[in-house]
Structure 1
Amino acid sequence: MHVAMRVAACCLLLLAAPTLAIAHPHAFIEAQVTIRFDDDGLAGFEQRWRLDPMLTATLLDIVDKDHDQKLNTAELADLEDTSMGSLKDFHYFTFVLIDGQSFEVNWMEDFTAYMEDGCMIYEFFVPCHVKAAKNPRTVKVAVYDPTFFSFVALVGEGGGSGIDPSKDPQFANPSAQAQPGDFERFINSTGFEQADLKPSFSGAANNFGVQGSFGKAKDMAYYQGLIIPDAFTVTFGQQ
Protein backbone atom coordinates (compact mmCIF):
# COMPACT_ATOMS: atom_id res chain seq x y z
CA MET A 1 0.00 0.00 0.00
CA HIS A 2 1.23 3.49 -0.81
CA VAL A 3 2.82 5.19 2.23
CA ALA A 4 0.35 8.10 2.18
CA MET A 5 -2.57 5.68 2.15
CA ARG A 6 -1.19 3.74 5.08
CA VAL A 7 -0.61 6.93 7.07
CA ALA A 8 -4.24 8.01 6.78
CA ALA A 9 -5.77 4.56 6.81
CA CYS A 10 -4.00 3.59 9.99
CA CYS A 11 -5.24 6.63 11.86
CA LEU A 12 -2.27 8.71 10.71
CA LEU A 13 0.32 6.37 12.17
CA LEU A 14 3.64 7.36 10.64
CA LEU A 15 4.48 3.82 9.63
CA ALA A 16 7.53 4.68 7.57
CA ALA A 17 9.30 6.60 10.33
CA PRO A 18 10.89 5.66 13.66
CA THR A 19 8.53 5.79 16.62
CA LEU A 20 10.18 8.89 18.09
CA ALA A 21 10.72 10.76 14.81
CA ILE A 22 8.16 13.49 15.42
CA ALA A 23 6.15 14.99 18.24
CA HIS A 24 3.00 13.17 19.26
CA PRO A 25 0.04 12.88 19.09
CA HIS A 26 -1.43 14.06 15.77
CA ALA A 27 -4.76 12.23 15.77
CA PHE A 28 -7.47 12.06 18.40
CA ILE A 29 -9.97 9.26 18.99
CA GLU A 30 -12.78 9.02 21.53
CA ALA A 31 -13.39 5.32 22.17
CA GLN A 32 -16.36 3.70 23.87
CA VAL A 33 -15.95 0.06 24.96
CA THR A 34 -18.75 -2.35 25.87
CA ILE A 35 -17.74 -5.73 27.29
CA ARG A 36 -19.89 -8.48 25.73
CA PHE A 37 -20.73 -11.84 27.29
CA ASP A 38 -22.28 -14.95 25.75
CA ASP A 39 -23.53 -18.21 27.27
CA ASP A 40 -19.97 -19.46 27.92
CA GLY A 41 -18.39 -16.34 29.39
CA LEU A 42 -16.58 -13.36 27.89
CA ALA A 43 -17.20 -12.98 24.14
CA GLY A 44 -15.22 -9.82 23.37
CA PHE A 45 -15.34 -6.05 23.14
CA GLU A 46 -17.77 -3.84 21.25
CA GLN A 47 -16.10 -0.59 20.25
CA ARG A 48 -17.29 2.77 18.97
CA TRP A 49 -14.66 5.30 17.90
CA ARG A 50 -15.21 8.97 17.07
CA LEU A 51 -12.34 10.33 14.94
CA ASP A 52 -11.31 13.97 15.13
CA PRO A 53 -12.36 16.34 12.29
CA MET A 54 -8.86 16.58 10.79
CA LEU A 55 -8.44 12.80 10.66
CA THR A 56 -11.99 12.48 9.31
CA ALA A 57 -11.20 14.91 6.49
CA THR A 58 -8.04 12.99 5.60
CA LEU A 59 -9.86 9.68 5.40
CA LEU A 60 -12.76 11.16 3.42
CA ASP A 61 -10.31 12.61 0.93
CA ILE A 62 -9.11 9.07 0.24
CA VAL A 63 -12.31 7.00 0.28
CA ASP A 64 -15.17 9.45 -0.49
CA LYS A 65 -14.95 9.12 -4.27
CA ASP A 66 -18.19 10.99 -5.00
CA HIS A 67 -17.37 13.77 -2.48
CA ASP A 68 -20.81 13.71 -0.83
CA GLN A 69 -19.43 13.49 2.74
CA LYS A 70 -21.09 10.09 3.13
CA LEU A 71 -19.98 6.49 2.80
CA ASN A 72 -21.73 4.31 0.26
CA THR A 73 -21.33 0.52 0.17
CA ALA A 74 -18.24 0.56 -2.04
CA GLU A 75 -16.58 3.37 -0.07
CA LEU A 76 -17.28 1.58 3.23
CA ALA A 77 -15.67 -1.58 1.88
CA ASP A 78 -12.64 0.44 0.75
CA LEU A 79 -12.37 2.07 4.17
CA GLU A 80 -12.53 -1.28 5.95
CA ASP A 81 -9.89 -2.75 3.65
CA THR A 82 -7.45 0.15 3.97
CA SER A 83 -7.99 1.46 7.49
CA MET A 84 -8.89 -1.64 9.46
CA GLY A 85 -6.58 -3.73 7.34
CA SER A 86 -3.68 -1.54 8.44
CA LEU A 87 -4.87 -1.31 12.03
CA LYS A 88 -4.57 -5.10 12.26
CA ASP A 89 -0.80 -4.59 12.45
CA PHE A 90 -1.44 -2.63 15.65
CA HIS A 91 -4.01 -5.05 17.12
CA TYR A 92 -6.81 -2.54 16.44
CA PHE A 93 -5.37 -0.47 19.30
CA THR A 94 -6.91 -3.07 21.65
CA PHE A 95 -4.69 -4.67 24.32
CA VAL A 96 -5.84 -7.43 26.63
CA LEU A 97 -4.55 -9.33 29.65
CA ILE A 98 -6.27 -12.60 30.60
CA ASP A 99 -5.41 -13.68 34.13
CA GLY A 100 -2.28 -11.55 33.83
CA GLN A 101 -1.18 -13.04 30.50
CA SER A 102 -1.15 -11.07 27.24
CA PHE A 103 -3.79 -11.96 24.65
CA GLU A 104 -2.86 -10.85 21.15
CA VAL A 105 -5.72 -9.24 19.24
CA ASN A 106 -5.41 -10.22 15.58
CA TRP A 107 -8.91 -9.83 14.16
CA MET A 108 -12.12 -7.88 14.38
CA GLU A 109 -15.57 -8.23 12.82
CA ASP A 110 -18.86 -6.41 12.15
CA PHE A 111 -17.12 -3.22 11.03
CA THR A 112 -19.17 -0.25 9.93
CA ALA A 113 -18.52 3.47 9.66
CA TYR A 114 -20.63 6.58 9.16
CA MET A 115 -20.57 10.34 9.59
CA GLU A 116 -21.97 12.08 12.67
CA ASP A 117 -21.72 15.83 13.32
CA GLY A 118 -18.78 16.20 10.94
CA CYS A 119 -16.79 13.33 12.44
CA MET A 120 -16.32 9.77 11.24
CA ILE A 121 -17.58 7.02 13.53
CA TYR A 122 -16.12 3.50 13.52
CA GLU A 123 -18.04 0.62 15.09
CA PHE A 124 -16.64 -2.91 15.29
CA PHE A 125 -16.31 -5.96 17.53
CA VAL A 126 -13.08 -7.55 18.80
CA PRO A 127 -13.62 -11.23 19.71
CA CYS A 128 -11.95 -12.45 22.89
CA HIS A 129 -13.46 -15.70 24.14
CA VAL A 130 -12.74 -16.54 27.77
CA LYS A 131 -14.82 -19.38 29.17
CA ALA A 132 -16.14 -18.90 32.70
CA ALA A 133 -14.81 -21.33 35.30
CA LYS A 134 -15.37 -22.12 38.96
CA ASN A 135 -12.24 -20.14 39.77
CA PRO A 136 -12.89 -16.51 38.75
CA ARG A 137 -11.27 -15.25 35.57
CA THR A 138 -9.88 -11.71 35.33
CA VAL A 139 -9.63 -9.82 32.05
CA LYS A 140 -8.20 -6.34 31.55
CA VAL A 141 -8.67 -4.32 28.35
CA ALA A 142 -7.15 -1.00 27.27
CA VAL A 143 -7.46 0.92 24.00
CA TYR A 144 -4.45 2.95 22.86
CA ASP A 145 -2.09 3.59 19.97
CA PRO A 146 1.25 2.04 21.01
CA THR A 147 3.16 4.59 18.89
CA PHE A 148 1.22 7.46 20.54
CA PHE A 149 0.69 9.03 17.13
CA SER A 150 -3.00 8.92 18.08
CA PHE A 151 -4.35 9.88 21.50
CA VAL A 152 -7.24 7.64 22.53
CA ALA A 153 -9.62 8.96 25.16
CA LEU A 154 -11.99 6.42 26.70
CA VAL A 155 -15.51 7.76 27.06
CA GLY A 156 -18.77 6.53 28.54
CA GLU A 157 -21.97 5.68 26.75
CA GLY A 158 -23.40 8.70 24.97
CA GLY A 159 -20.64 11.05 26.12
CA GLY A 160 -17.47 12.55 24.70
CA SER A 161 -14.26 13.73 26.30
CA GLY A 162 -15.20 17.42 26.00
CA ILE A 163 -11.70 18.49 24.96
CA ASP A 164 -10.30 20.16 21.85
CA PRO A 165 -7.05 18.42 20.82
CA SER A 166 -6.10 21.38 18.63
CA LYS A 167 -5.28 23.31 21.82
CA ASP A 168 -2.07 21.31 21.93
CA PRO A 169 0.43 23.60 20.10
CA GLN A 170 2.12 20.61 18.43
CA PHE A 171 -1.03 18.73 17.38
CA ALA A 172 -1.01 20.11 13.81
CA ASN A 173 2.78 20.43 13.52
CA PRO A 174 4.16 17.12 12.23
CA SER A 175 7.65 18.59 11.84
CA ALA A 176 8.05 19.16 15.61
CA GLN A 177 10.62 16.89 17.21
CA ALA A 178 9.43 14.33 19.72
CA GLN A 179 10.21 14.82 23.39
CA PRO A 180 9.88 12.49 26.41
CA GLY A 181 7.24 14.89 27.78
CA ASP A 182 4.89 14.67 24.79
CA PHE A 183 2.17 13.00 26.83
CA GLU A 184 2.33 15.53 29.66
CA ARG A 185 2.40 18.40 27.15
CA PHE A 186 -0.76 17.17 25.46
CA ILE A 187 -2.59 16.60 28.76
CA ASN A 188 -1.57 20.00 30.13
CA SER A 189 -2.38 21.86 26.91
CA THR A 190 -5.82 20.36 26.41
CA GLY A 191 -6.82 20.06 30.05
CA PHE A 192 -7.86 16.47 29.49
CA GLU A 193 -8.90 14.56 32.59
CA GLN A 194 -9.98 10.97 32.16
CA ALA A 195 -13.50 10.52 33.51
CA ASP A 196 -14.05 7.89 36.20
CA LEU A 197 -15.91 5.45 33.98
CA LYS A 198 -17.96 2.43 34.92
CA PRO A 199 -17.57 -0.67 32.75
CA SER A 200 -20.44 -1.24 30.33
CA PHE A 201 -21.67 -4.79 29.68
CA SER A 202 -23.90 -6.49 27.12
CA GLY A 203 -25.16 -10.00 26.50
CA ALA A 204 -25.28 -12.61 29.27
CA ALA A 205 -23.19 -10.74 31.85
CA ASN A 206 -25.77 -11.39 34.59
CA ASN A 207 -25.04 -15.13 34.38
CA PHE A 208 -21.49 -14.87 35.67
CA GLY A 209 -21.48 -12.60 38.73
CA VAL A 210 -19.51 -10.00 36.78
CA GLN A 211 -17.60 -7.35 38.69
CA GLY A 212 -15.84 -4.51 36.91
CA SER A 213 -13.57 -1.57 37.62
CA PHE A 214 -11.70 1.18 35.77
CA GLY A 215 -8.31 2.70 36.45
CA LYS A 216 -4.62 2.99 35.59
CA ALA A 217 -2.97 -0.20 34.34
CA LYS A 218 0.72 -0.04 35.21
CA ASP A 219 1.23 -3.51 33.79
CA MET A 220 0.18 -2.22 30.35
CA ALA A 221 2.54 0.79 30.12
CA TYR A 222 3.54 1.75 26.57
CA TYR A 223 5.46 4.34 24.48
CA GLN A 224 8.76 3.17 25.97
CA GLY A 225 7.02 2.78 29.33
CA LEU A 226 6.29 6.52 29.57
CA ILE A 227 2.49 6.24 29.37
CA ILE A 228 0.28 4.24 31.72
CA PRO A 229 -3.09 3.64 30.04
CA ASP A 230 -6.52 3.50 31.60
CA ALA A 231 -8.14 0.08 31.41
CA PHE A 232 -11.29 -1.79 32.26
CA THR A 233 -10.88 -4.82 34.52
CA VAL A 234 -13.60 -7.44 34.74
CA THR A 235 -13.78 -10.53 36.96
CA PHE A 236 -16.35 -13.29 36.37
CA GLY A 237 -16.97 -16.98 37.01
CA GLN A 238 -19.48 -19.80 36.99
CA GLN A 239 -22.44 -19.31 39.28
Structure 2
Amino acid sequence: MKPALPLLTFLALSAPGSALAHPHIFAEARLEVIAADDGTVSELRNIWRFDEVFSSSVLLDFDKNTDLKLDEEELAELGQVMHASLADFDYFTTVTVDGQDAPIMKPDAIHVSYEDNQILVFFAVRTEKSLPLKGKLAVGVYDPSMYTAIDFPTDGDLVAQGKGAEACKRQVVRPDPDEIIAQNNETLTEAFFDDPSGNDMSKLFATRLELTC
Protein backbone atom coordinates (compact mmCIF):
# COMPACT_ATOMS: atom_id res chain seq x y z
CA MET A 1 0.00 0.00 0.00
CA LYS A 2 1.40 3.38 -0.94
CA PRO A 3 1.68 5.82 2.00
CA ALA A 4 0.54 9.42 1.53
CA LEU A 5 3.99 10.93 1.26
CA PRO A 6 4.80 14.41 0.08
CA LEU A 7 7.06 15.11 -2.87
CA LEU A 8 7.05 11.78 -4.70
CA THR A 9 4.35 9.43 -3.49
CA PHE A 10 4.68 7.66 -6.81
CA LEU A 11 8.16 6.42 -5.82
CA ALA A 12 7.33 5.13 -2.33
CA LEU A 13 6.39 1.54 -3.09
CA SER A 14 5.96 0.11 0.36
CA ALA A 15 6.92 1.66 3.67
CA PRO A 16 5.44 1.07 7.13
CA GLY A 17 4.03 4.13 8.83
CA SER A 18 6.59 3.95 11.64
CA ALA A 19 9.38 4.44 9.13
CA LEU A 20 8.15 7.92 8.36
CA ALA A 21 9.74 9.30 11.51
CA HIS A 22 13.10 9.17 9.75
CA PRO A 23 14.08 10.66 6.39
CA HIS A 24 14.56 8.35 3.42
CA ILE A 25 15.20 11.04 0.81
CA PHE A 26 17.88 13.72 1.16
CA ALA A 27 18.25 17.04 -0.59
CA GLU A 28 20.57 20.01 -0.31
CA ALA A 29 18.71 23.26 -0.76
CA ARG A 30 19.03 26.96 -1.41
CA LEU A 31 16.34 29.54 -0.59
CA GLU A 32 16.23 33.06 -1.99
CA VAL A 33 13.76 35.59 -0.59
CA ILE A 34 13.36 38.16 -3.35
CA ALA A 35 12.28 41.60 -2.19
CA ALA A 36 10.66 44.14 -4.50
CA ASP A 37 11.45 47.85 -4.44
CA ASP A 38 8.05 48.56 -2.86
CA GLY A 39 9.02 46.77 0.35
CA THR A 40 7.17 43.52 -0.26
CA VAL A 41 8.37 39.98 -0.96
CA SER A 42 7.90 39.27 -4.65
CA GLU A 43 8.71 35.53 -4.52
CA LEU A 44 10.54 32.75 -2.70
CA ARG A 45 12.92 30.86 -4.97
CA ASN A 46 13.82 27.26 -4.16
CA ILE A 47 16.61 25.08 -5.50
CA TRP A 48 16.84 21.45 -4.35
CA ARG A 49 19.53 18.90 -5.27
CA PHE A 50 18.51 15.33 -4.40
CA ASP A 51 20.81 12.51 -3.34
CA GLU A 52 22.09 10.06 -5.94
CA VAL A 53 20.17 7.05 -4.60
CA PHE A 54 16.83 8.81 -4.85
CA SER A 55 17.81 10.36 -8.17
CA SER A 56 18.60 6.95 -9.63
CA SER A 57 15.14 5.74 -8.59
CA VAL A 58 13.61 8.70 -10.39
CA LEU A 59 15.67 7.90 -13.47
CA LEU A 60 14.40 4.31 -13.52
CA ASP A 61 10.78 5.44 -13.19
CA PHE A 62 10.84 8.23 -15.79
CA ASP A 63 13.33 7.02 -18.37
CA LYS A 64 10.61 5.86 -20.77
CA ASN A 65 12.95 5.21 -23.68
CA THR A 66 15.52 3.41 -21.47
CA ASP A 67 18.50 5.44 -22.68
CA LEU A 68 19.72 5.99 -19.09
CA LYS A 69 19.08 9.71 -19.18
CA LEU A 70 16.14 12.06 -18.85
CA ASP A 71 15.23 14.03 -21.95
CA GLU A 72 13.15 17.22 -22.00
CA GLU A 73 9.81 15.41 -22.21
CA GLU A 74 10.70 13.05 -19.34
CA LEU A 75 11.91 15.95 -17.17
CA ALA A 76 8.74 17.89 -17.95
CA GLU A 77 6.61 14.93 -16.85
CA LEU A 78 8.61 14.65 -13.63
CA GLY A 79 8.08 18.36 -12.96
CA GLN A 80 4.33 17.99 -13.48
CA VAL A 81 4.15 15.07 -11.05
CA MET A 82 6.09 17.03 -8.44
CA HIS A 83 3.85 20.05 -8.99
CA ALA A 84 0.78 17.93 -8.23
CA SER A 85 2.20 15.77 -5.41
CA LEU A 86 3.62 18.69 -3.39
CA ALA A 87 0.46 20.81 -3.50
CA ASP A 88 -1.09 19.31 -0.34
CA PHE A 89 2.13 20.00 1.55
CA ASP A 90 2.57 23.66 0.56
CA TYR A 91 5.67 22.74 -1.41
CA PHE A 92 7.53 22.19 1.88
CA THR A 93 7.44 25.96 2.44
CA THR A 94 6.25 27.64 5.64
CA VAL A 95 5.94 31.41 5.96
CA THR A 96 4.98 33.32 9.10
CA VAL A 97 4.66 37.02 9.83
CA ASP A 98 4.89 37.89 13.52
CA GLY A 99 4.02 34.26 14.25
CA GLN A 100 0.97 34.13 11.97
CA ASP A 101 0.91 31.76 9.00
CA ALA A 102 0.97 33.30 5.53
CA PRO A 103 -0.47 30.73 3.08
CA ILE A 104 1.34 30.27 -0.22
CA MET A 105 0.06 29.75 -3.75
CA LYS A 106 0.99 27.00 -6.17
CA PRO A 107 4.04 27.81 -8.28
CA ASP A 108 3.45 28.35 -11.97
CA ALA A 109 5.64 25.34 -12.70
CA ILE A 110 8.38 23.15 -11.26
CA HIS A 111 11.47 22.86 -13.42
CA VAL A 112 13.69 19.80 -13.21
CA SER A 113 17.11 18.91 -14.55
CA TYR A 114 19.36 15.86 -14.21
CA GLU A 115 23.03 16.68 -13.72
CA ASP A 116 25.92 14.59 -12.41
CA ASN A 117 23.53 11.76 -11.53
CA GLN A 118 21.39 14.03 -9.35
CA ILE A 119 17.92 15.50 -9.73
CA LEU A 120 17.80 19.31 -9.45
CA VAL A 121 14.49 21.07 -8.84
CA PHE A 122 13.82 24.79 -9.35
CA PHE A 123 10.63 26.68 -8.55
CA ALA A 124 9.32 29.90 -7.02
CA VAL A 125 6.29 30.45 -4.80
CA ARG A 126 4.39 33.50 -3.64
CA THR A 127 2.08 34.10 -0.70
CA GLU A 128 -1.66 34.38 -1.29
CA LYS A 129 -1.67 37.94 0.05
CA SER A 130 0.87 40.70 -0.37
CA LEU A 131 3.78 40.10 2.01
CA PRO A 132 5.23 43.39 3.33
CA LEU A 133 8.69 43.33 4.86
CA LYS A 134 7.47 44.53 8.24
CA GLY A 135 7.77 42.97 11.66
CA LYS A 136 9.31 39.50 11.88
CA LEU A 137 9.15 37.36 8.76
CA ALA A 138 10.21 33.71 8.95
CA VAL A 139 10.55 31.37 5.97
CA GLY A 140 11.27 27.68 6.48
CA VAL A 141 11.57 24.68 4.16
CA TYR A 142 10.60 21.35 5.66
CA ASP A 143 8.81 18.12 4.78
CA PRO A 144 5.90 17.77 7.26
CA SER A 145 5.95 13.98 6.92
CA MET A 146 9.68 13.86 7.78
CA TYR A 147 10.23 11.49 4.88
CA THR A 148 12.47 13.98 3.06
CA ALA A 149 15.37 15.75 4.77
CA ILE A 150 15.89 19.23 3.34
CA ASP A 151 19.34 20.50 4.32
CA PHE A 152 20.94 23.91 3.84
CA PRO A 153 24.69 23.19 3.87
CA THR A 154 25.65 26.73 4.88
CA ASP A 155 23.88 29.79 6.25
CA GLY A 156 24.73 31.45 2.94
CA ASP A 157 22.21 29.13 1.27
CA LEU A 158 19.37 31.16 2.83
CA VAL A 159 19.48 34.69 1.47
CA ALA A 160 17.37 37.80 1.08
CA GLN A 161 17.92 39.81 -2.09
CA GLY A 162 16.62 43.14 -3.31
CA LYS A 163 16.56 46.75 -2.18
CA GLY A 164 13.49 46.17 -0.02
CA ALA A 165 15.39 43.74 2.21
CA GLU A 166 18.42 45.93 2.84
CA ALA A 167 16.99 47.42 6.04
CA CYS A 168 16.09 44.01 7.53
CA LYS A 169 18.16 42.09 10.03
CA ARG A 170 18.87 38.55 8.75
CA GLN A 171 19.22 35.47 10.94
CA VAL A 172 19.41 31.77 10.05
CA VAL A 173 17.83 29.54 12.71
CA ARG A 174 18.73 25.84 12.90
CA PRO A 175 16.51 24.29 15.60
CA ASP A 176 17.90 21.51 17.79
CA PRO A 177 15.49 18.55 17.40
CA ASP A 178 16.25 17.22 20.89
CA GLU A 179 15.41 20.59 22.46
CA ILE A 180 12.17 20.87 20.49
CA ILE A 181 11.05 17.38 21.51
CA ALA A 182 11.91 18.11 25.15
CA GLN A 183 9.99 21.39 25.09
CA ASN A 184 6.95 19.82 23.41
CA ASN A 185 6.99 16.28 24.81
CA GLU A 186 3.25 16.28 25.49
CA THR A 187 2.39 17.22 21.91
CA LEU A 188 5.07 15.41 19.92
CA THR A 189 3.75 11.95 20.68
CA GLU A 190 4.40 8.71 18.79
CA ALA A 191 1.23 9.41 16.80
CA PHE A 192 2.79 12.66 15.59
CA PHE A 193 5.85 10.90 14.18
CA ASP A 194 3.80 8.05 12.69
CA ASP A 195 1.35 10.30 10.82
CA PRO A 196 2.25 9.98 7.10
CA SER A 197 0.30 13.10 6.24
CA GLY A 198 2.46 15.24 8.48
CA ASN A 199 1.55 17.77 11.11
CA ASP A 200 1.57 21.56 11.29
CA MET A 201 3.90 21.41 14.26
CA SER A 202 6.60 19.85 12.11
CA LYS A 203 7.58 23.39 11.10
CA LEU A 204 9.19 23.67 14.54
CA PHE A 205 12.01 21.51 13.17
CA ALA A 206 12.54 23.55 10.01
CA THR A 207 15.73 25.43 9.31
CA ARG A 208 14.47 28.91 8.58
CA LEU A 209 15.49 32.40 7.55
CA GLU A 210 14.21 35.15 9.85
CA LEU A 211 14.02 38.75 8.66
CA THR A 212 13.30 41.46 11.22
CA CYS A 213 12.35 44.69 9.49
Question: Do they superpose with TM above 0.5?
Answer: yes
Instruction: Tell me: CA distance 1:16–1:23, structure 2 relative to 1, closer, same or farther (3 Å).
Output: closer
- Which amino acid in structure 2 is aligned with residue 119 of structure 1? Q
When you count helix as a share of all residues, which structure comes out higher?
2
State the match for 1:211 in structure 2.
169
Instruction: Tell me: CA distance 1:7–1:33, structure 2 relative to 1, closer, same or farther (3 Å).
Output: closer
State the match for 1:180 in structure 2.
none
Distance 1:120 1:12 in 2: 14
**1:68 to partner: Cα distance:** 3.5
Q: Is residue 202 of structure 1 aligned with residue 203 of structure 2?
A: no
- RMSD of aligned residue pairs (Cα, Å): 3.3
Contact in 2 for aligned 1:6/1:15 (Cα 8 Å):
no
How many residue pairs get aligned? The number is 189
State the match for 1:231 in structure 2.
208
- Which amino acid in structure 1 is aligned with residue 118 of structure 2? C
Unpaired segments of 5 or more residues in structure 2?
Answer: 194-200
**1:112 to partner: Cα distance:** 1.2
More off after superposition, 140-149 vs 222-231: 222-231
2:143 to 138, 145, 153: 145
Distance 1:137 1:11 in 2: 40
Contact in 2 for aligned 1:199/1:213 (Cα 8 Å):
no
State the match for 1:35 in structure 2.
33
**1:9 to partner: Cα distance:** 2.4
**Partner deviation per Cα, 1:54-78 (whole Å, 9 max, x = no partner):** 1111111222212334433321221
Distance 2:4 2:74 in 1: 14
Instruction: Tell me: CA distance 1:100–1:113, structure 2 relative to 1, closer, same or farther (3 Å).
Output: same
State the match for 1:185 in structure 2.
none
Distance 2:46 2:210 in 1: 16
Instruction: Tell me: CA distance 1:124–1:198, structure 2 relative to 1, closer, same or farther (3 Å).
Output: closer
- Which amino acid in structure 2 is aligned with residue 100 of structure 1? G
- Which amino acid in structure 2 is aligned with residue 32 of structure 1? R
Contact in 1 for aligned 2:2/2:12 (Cα 8 Å):
no
- Which amino acid in structure 2 is aligned with residue 62 of structure 1? D
Distance 2:4 2:79 in 1: 13
Contact in 1 for aligned 2:28/2:48 (Cα 8 Å):
yes
**1:37 to partner: Cα distance:** 1.1
Contact in 2 for aligned 1:198/1:213 (Cα 8 Å):
no
**1:142 to partner: Cα distance:** 1.0
State the match for 2:88 in structure 1.
89
- Which amino acid in structure 2 is aligned with residue 230 of structure 1? T
Distance 2:46 2:54 in 1: 18
**Partner deviation per Cα, 1:133-190 (whole Å, 9 max, x = no partner):** xxx332101111111111111134xxxxxxxxxxxxxxxxxxxxxxxxxxxxxxxxxx
Distance 1:29 1:198 in 2: 13
Instruction: Tell me: CA distance 1:198–1:144, structure 2 relative to 1, closer, same or farther (3 Å).
Output: closer
- Which amino acid in structure 1 is aligned with residue 28 of structure 2? E
| 3-state SS, counterpart of residue 57 of structure 1 | helix
Distance 1:11 1:233 in 2: 34
Distance 1:8 1:104 in 2: 18
Contact in 2 for aligned 1:36/1:44 (Cα 8 Å):
yes
State the match for 2:196 in structure 1.
none
Instruction: Tell me: CA distance 1:209–1:8, structure 2 relative to 1, closer, same or farther (3 Å).
Output: closer
**1:127 to partner: Cα distance:** 1.1
State the match for 2:131 in structure 1.
130
